[in-house]
Structure 1
Amino acid sequence: MATGKPATIYDVAARAKLSIATVSRVLQGTGPVSEKARARVGQAAAELNYVPLRAARSLAVQRHEAHGLVLPDLSGPFYGDLLMGYERWAGEHGQSVVLTVTHGNADPRRSVRDLAGRVDGIVVHGNAIDLATIQELRKAGVPLVLVAHPPVTGCDSVRTESASSAEQLTGRLLDAGRSNLVFVGDPASSYDVSERYRGFANAHESRKKVAPEPIRVELTEEAGQGVAATMVAQKRGGGLERVDGLVCANDELALAAMSTLRSADVGVPDDVVVTGWDDVMAARYVSPGLSTVRQPMAELGRLAAQRLHERVTGERTRARNDVLATELVLRDSCGTSGAMH
């Protein structure tokens, strides 16, 4: 808008040439509305970068004392640790947390826009929402912190280091004589996984080797079992049976693959080395212990909460990008043990 002020419902109604009542019904999802009217309101809202913020947000002294946390999923131990760190900091500073999960959500963009009207700012993890929606929220003046996401101008970002640690880990395996490593996980699924594969590829390239294409699977136990089962089934097929190492994008993949291989009498680490990422609790207690990369998941959540609070209160106006260190944890699943930064 020419004034630079956030668009209001009145602006949307004027642009769509509809009544306030009709626009309100469309935005709130209440009452009968024609598809034509719904489309006109959607187009007008998009053109104006309209986000349904409450009127109270225009009063500098009045806030909701709530943070929005947008996650793609809640499965697996990673999100539990992230949430624990986030909620602990928010609770200590009198902030409530409103959680939105986008995986399986029919209209995540609308859910996040609605969330923006109930909170003071939003933390977005990974690819929970698309870049266009992030940009829309930013232009509407919503304080944003991105977690495990590439930096975006005007937004804070908090992430852990991935590429260097993945390169170190892969390099150790190559230098120990493992010549047929494969990366398990889909680099297209998230920024973190793409960075881990980049480190895997860099380790090969620096040793004049060609990095194989990744095995593109979801980061789940079922996928890890499937990859290992395929290896076992192809022992005589001239394919994956030559693989002597699995560099997995997270611990769930690695633990499931390792269990499946051992059940089929494939030796870990003698026949196949297996590594993961995250250092979840189970990694320390399986036998052999899982070699992995420890990332400070609770600290990631804590720092995201702090950064959002700083932006909401005006304590800090310039965006910053924080990158937290990770740590190699070498256990018996790759034939060695110890830790290194």
Structure 2
Amino acid sequence: MVGTDNGRNVTIAMIARLAGVSVPTVSRVVNGRSDVAPQTRKRVEELLTRYGYRRRSPTRQTAAGLIDLVFNDLDSPWAVEIIRGVEEVARSSGVGTAVSAIHWRISSAKQWLDNMRARSTEGVILVTSMVNPPLHAEFCRLHIPVVIIDPAGVDPRESPTIGATNWAGSLSANQYLLGLGHRRIGFIAGPPHLMCSRARLDGYRAALGAAGVPVDPALVRPGNFHPETGYLAGTQLLALPDPPTAIFASSDQMALGVYEAVRKRGLRVPGDISVVGFDDLPEVRWCSPPLTTVRQPLAEMGMLAARTVLRLAGGEKTDSERLELATELVIRDSAAPPRRR
């Protein structure tokens, strides 16, 4: 509390509430930072003047804010790449990063929300999720901006979303396999509730359809982006009476699970079956053979999400509610023309 208005203490929180912005936004104006939209800065400064707010001395300035980065879980190198991108932007902007994994259990979500209220949060980045109505209402009440990476669906509240060109990436991977001569291509899907999973399945279907190759339902298997489901689906596909000559796994971790299924069957990649993944995680270039995969710019997605949150926290508008970064097929050694049977 740093000033008075007719005998009442004036706080940054009061000014933020009156201006309709977050507490960190007011703090940035008070501390003379440049990352605030001009109109927002003007509105906040007018309120600071009107209510007689007195700036603290430099030795007592408000602590730096945080970006809250929230995952369902953190048991994947995919999450590490997102964190790396967010932290790079946060560090250069003078804010911290608070990483949470809440598994979307009610108790975990409530504890996280209580913790978030107690700290100076610039904004929230949710990964592979949606904002449910009660949580959205709380974010609005606190004037906290939200950005979603790989949303579970189209958010009717129009929170900005960050993703990659999943359909195009899947299309290019399967066109590559078709170009090598494969006609029986297995597909291992991701969680069906995620937009990125559905886009990758649609890209697979589109590539086969354009080549005049019918989609065989027996070659499409469920997965959850983790190695165990890649191993299970790979085992099932290889056991078919007419198995695929190639498998496209819609995550690198599932592709590595397929590698193990191939090994346990006494077969070889790509001599007996070709394998292609999706993500281009750092370790897949070192597996044997190095994995052909679709590069998803995960760190860049984290960086863009962090920049977007900070822009929103500063009172700026986003250029688009849905932002997609380009994917790229990275050809290595795990795919080859099919062996004659």
Contact kept? 1:186, 1:215, Cα under 8 Å: no
Q: Report the alpha carbon displacement of residue 209 of structure 1 after superposing the two structures with TM.
A: 3.0
Q: Report the alpha carbon displacement of residue 315 of structure 1 after superposing the two structures with TM.
A: 3.3
Q: Which residue of 2 aligns with 1:86?
A: 86
SS in structure 1 of the partner of residue 316 of structure 2 = coil
Q: Which residue of 2 aligns with 1:220?
A: 226
Q: Report the alpha carbon displacement of residue 137 of structure 1 after superposing the two structures with TM.
A: 4.7
The 1-side partners of 2:109 and 2:15 are apart by 22
The 1-side partners of 2:144 and 2:271 are apart by 53
Percent identical among aligned pairs is 23
Q: Report the alpha carbon displacement of residue 155 of structure 1 after superposing the two structures with TM.
A: 2.1
Q: Which residue of 1 aligns with 2:47?
A: none
Q: Which residue of 2 aligns with 1:68?
A: 68
Q: Which residue of 2 aligns with 1:229?
A: 235
Q: Which amino acid aligns with 1:270?
A: G
- Number of matched pairs: 277
The 2-side partners of 1:254 and 1:109 are apart by 32
Q: Could you say if the C-alpha distance between residues 245 and 261 of structure 1 is closer, same or farther in structure 2, counting changes exceeding 3 Å? A: same
The 2-side partners of 1:251 and 1:318 are apart by 31
In structure 2, the gaps of 5 or more residues are 1-12, 18-22, 29-63
**TM-score scaled to structure 2, two decimals?**
0.73
The 1-side partners of 2:278 and 2:163 are apart by 14
Contact kept? 2:168, 2:327, Cα under 8 Å: no
Q: Which amino acid aligns with 2:169?
A: S
Q: Could you say if the C-alpha distance between residues 205 and 317 of structure 1 is closer, same or farther in structure 2, counting changes exceeding 3 Å? A: closer
Q: Which amino acid aligns with 2:26?
A: V
Q: Which amino acid aligns with 1:144?
A: V
Task: Tell me how large the CA RMSD over aligned residues is.
Answer: 2.6
Q: Report the alpha carbon displacement of residue 138 of structure 1 after superposing the two structures with TM.
A: 5.7
Contact kept? 1:151, 1:157, Cα under 8 Å: no
SS in structure 1 of the partner of residue 68 of structure 2 = strand
Q: Residues 162-311 of structure 1: matches in 2 within 5 Å?
A: 162-213=166-217, 214-232=220-238, 234=239, 238=241, 241-311=242-312
Note the alpha carbon deviations across 1:110-145, whole angstroms, 9 max, x for none. Answer: 345435523232111112x55435643565443111
The 1-side partners of 2:138 and 2:335 are apart by 45
The 1-side partners of 2:270 and 2:292 are apart by 10
**TM-score scaled to structure 1, two decimals?**
0.73
Contact kept? 1:154, 1:318, Cα under 8 Å: no
Work out which structure has the larger RCO, using CA pairs closer than 8 Å and 6 or more positions apart in sequence.
Answer: 2
Q: Could you say if the C-alpha distance between residues 172 and 254 of structure 1 is closer, same or farther in structure 2, counting changes exceeding 3 Å? A: same
Q: Which residue of 2 aligns with 1:34?
A: none
Q: Which amino acid aligns with 1:328?
A: L
The 2-side partners of 1:98 and 1:57 are apart by 22
Note the alpha carbon deviations across 1:240-293, whole angstroms, 9 max, x for none. Answer: x52222110111110121133134221322321111111112211222221101
Q: Could you say if the C-alpha distance between residues 174 and 186 of structure 1 is closer, same or farther in structure 2, counting changes exceeding 3 Å? A: same
SS in structure 1 of the partner of residue 69 of structure 2 = strand
